[in-house]
Structure 1
Amino acid sequence: MTSFHRLTALKAITLGAALSMTAGLALAGDNSVSTDQILNALQPKPVTRGLSAGPQIDPSVKAKEIGFLQTIRNRKTRSLSTGEREEIAEIATNKPKIDLDIQFDYNSADIRTSSLPDAQSLGQALSNPSLKGSTFIVAGHTDAVGGETFNQGLSERRADTIKKYLVDKFGIAGSDLVTVGYGKDKPKDPNAPMDPINRRVQVVNMDTKTASK
C-alpha cells in the first residue's frame, strides 16, 4: 500500500471513530424534554357537563379551589404552612402536571448548565397562548439524603430559582407561579427514597383561570 493510500485509510478510520463518538454523545445527552412534551402534559383536560362522558365540574369544588389559590398567590414560599402545602398537593392530584429532571449543583439552588435546556423548554411552554390564564404550581422535591429541615429549605430555594428563571428570562408574571417545597416528603419512588430520581421539579397547571390577565 502506498503512503498516500495508508494516509487516506488512517483519516477514514479516524473520521469514523470521531463520528461514532459524536453519535454516542448525542444519544447519551438526548434526555431533555421538549417544549411540545411539556405543553401537551400541561394542557387542561376537556371538561363536560351533565350526563355525557368525561370529567364533571363541581362548581362548589371549583370555587373552593379558586378561593384557596387566591390566598396563596404572591406568597413567599417559606410562608406556606404544612396544611397549605398539603392542600396544594391534594388539589394538584388530578391536575395536568409534569415532572422535570432539572438538576441543581450539589447542596445548591443553582441550575446545572446541563439542565438549562429543560428550563428553557418549560419557559417556552408556559409562554404558549394555549396556557394563558392558568396558575401554575412549581414544586421542588429532594431525595432523602440529609436532614428534613435542610431538605425542606433546599426544595423551597430550588422552586424559587425556577420561578425567578421563568420571570426573568420569559417575562411570565410572578403572580401566576406559586412555589412550594416538599423536601423529601413526597418521593417519586417511595421504594428508593435516596435515588436521584426523586430530585425533581414538578409543574402543575391548576387550571382555575385565576392568573393575571
Structure 2
Amino acid sequence: MTWRSAARHRAKVGALILALGAAFPLGVASAGEVTSDQIVRALTPNKPLTRSLSAAQPAAATVDPTQAKFVDSLRNRPTRSLSSGERTQIAEITKDKPNIDLEITFEYNSANISRQAAPAVEALGKALSSPDLKGGTFVVAGHTDSVGSDSFNQDLSERRADTIKRVLVEKYGIAGADLVTVGYGESRLKDPAHPDSGINRRVQVVNMSDQSTAAK
C-alpha cells in the first residue's frame, strides 16, 4: 500500500466529529469518553461548564427575527438541497452558539456508524432528549479532512450528518424538524495547517436556542 492510498484509507475509515460546542477546546472527545450529562452541560445556554470541559457559555443574545426566519426555512429541507450561500449563512449564524466536539467513527468509505461509536451516539441521543434540551433546534453539520476529491468529501459529509439525524429521530424520538443538517466537506477545516488530520473529520451539531428549554 502506497503512502497515498494509506492516507486515503485512514481518511475514509476515520472519525466523523460532532461539534456541538466548545466543550473540548484542546481536542475532541473520543467515542467512548463523553457522557450525556457533559453534552447537556456543553449545549445548555448560559449554564457554566465544569472547568475540565470549558468556560461558561456567553450570555444569550437577542433573537434576530431575520435569522429565526432563515432557520425556520431550513426545517425539513434535504441536506443536499442547500446552496453554497445557505451553507455559509448557517456557519455564520452558528459560530457563537453552544457546541461540543465528539469523535464518532464510521465504517470504511461509508456513512454507517461503527460499533465503537455507539456509546457516544447514545450519549448524544439521551442529551438531546433530556428536559434541558428537548424541543430545541440543533444544526448538524458534517465536515471531512482534505483527503479525497471535493465532491466526494462534500457528499460524505452530508451523508454522515444525515445518518446522525436519522438515528436521533428513529431511536431517541427527537423531532426531525428540530434537526437541521448541512454538509461542508473539506471547506471548513478545523486545523487548516494539517488538512489531512483526523481532527478535521467531524459533524458540527450546534444548539440554536437562546435559553434552556427547561426554563421556558
Structure-2-length-normalised TM-score: 0.75
Q: How does 1:22-171 map to 2 (within 5 A)?
A: 31-45=32-46, 55=59, 57-59=61-63, 62-171=64-173
Offset, 1:133: 3.1
Q: Which consecutive unaligned segments of at least 5 residues does structure 1 have? A: 1-28, 47-53
Closer/same/farther in 2, CA of residues 56 and 207 from structure 1, 3 Å limit: closer
Give the SS at the match of 1:129. coil
Q: Which has the higher helix share?
A: 1
* Residues 134, 208 of structure 1: 8 Å contact kept: no
* Residues 31, 120 of structure 2: 8 Å contact kept: no
Q: In structure 1, what is the Cα distance between the partners aligned to 2:113 and 2:84?
A: 26
Q: In structure 1, what is the Cα distance between the partners aligned to 2:209 and 2:76?
A: 17
Offset, 1:78: 0.2
C-alpha offsets along residues 110-135 of structure 1, whole Å, 9 cap, x if unaligned?
A: 00110111011000000011113321
Offset, 1:203: 1.1
Q: Which consecutive unaligned segments of at least 5 residues does structure 2 have? A: 1-29, 48-57
In structure 1, the residue matched to 2:23 is none
C-alpha offsets along residues 8-53 of structure 1, whole Å, 9 cap, x if unaligned?
A: xxxxxxxxxxxxxxxxxxxxx885211111111100127xxxxxxx
In structure 2, the residue matched to 1:201 is 203
C-alpha offsets along residues 121-159 of structure 1, whole Å, 9 cap, x if unaligned?
A: 000000011113321001111111000001000000000
Q: In structure 2, what is the Cα distance between the partners aligned to 1:30 and 1:44?
A: 24
Percent sequence identity is 56
Closer/same/farther in 2, CA of residues 208 and 76 from structure 1, 3 Å limit: farther
Give the SS at the match of 2:88. helix
- Aligned AA (1:40): R
Offset, 1:200: 1.4
Paired residues in the alignment total 173
In structure 2, the residue matched to 1:50 is none
* Residues 99, 202 of structure 1: 8 Å contact kept: yes
Q: Does 1:191 align with 2:189?
A: no
Closer/same/farther in 2, CA of residues 104 and 94 from structure 1, 3 Å limit: same
In structure 2, the residue matched to 1:13 is none
Q: Rg bigger for which structure?
A: 1
Q: In structure 2, what is the Cα distance between the partners aligned to 1:73 and 1:140?
A: 17
Offset, 1:161: 0.2
C-alpha offsets along residues 61-113 of structure 1, whole Å, 9 cap, x if unaligned?
A: x2112111111111000001111111111011110011211111121100011
Offset, 1:56: 6.5
